[in-house]
Amino acid sequence: MFFSKQEGENDVYKWGALGGAAEVIYIFLFALIMTRIGPFMNVPTFLALTLFLLLFVFSAGISGFFVLGYPTYLALQKKYKEAAIALLISFLVIFCGMILAILINLIK
């Protein structure tokens, strides 16, 4: 995909939606894992803070790749409109995931 000469408008929407969906799934899995291992983590304050910051930076890198990877590629190809569309689609999918999480929490 990244190296194909012919890119259609649908590819921008598809990759934007996939980036947003990958981010929502990553956040869900990360939260699930952290809630499961949280009770077993009895570490000193310094180590807990260090672990939190390491996980935060790692998570920011993964999230940046999912959300900003394809739009950055498009921007480097000087396709600024398509990059903005892909980014907005990713944000829209993430926003929908947030609304879904709120609704699930309210129903629960």
Domains of the chain: which residue ranges? 9-107
Identify the pLDDT of residue 72. Answer: 95
Identify the pLDDT of residue 84. Answer: 95
- Residues of the chain with confidence (pLDDT) below 70: 1-8
Whether the Cβ atoms of residue 74 and residue 83 lie closer than 8 Å to each other:
yes
Long-range contacts of 86-89 (CB under 8 A, 24+ apart): 86/12, 86/13, 86/15, 86/16, 86/19, 87/16, 88/16, 89/12, 89/13, 89/16, 89/17, 89/19, 89/20
Identify the pLDDT of residue 34. Answer: 84
Q: Tell me the pTM.
A: 0.82
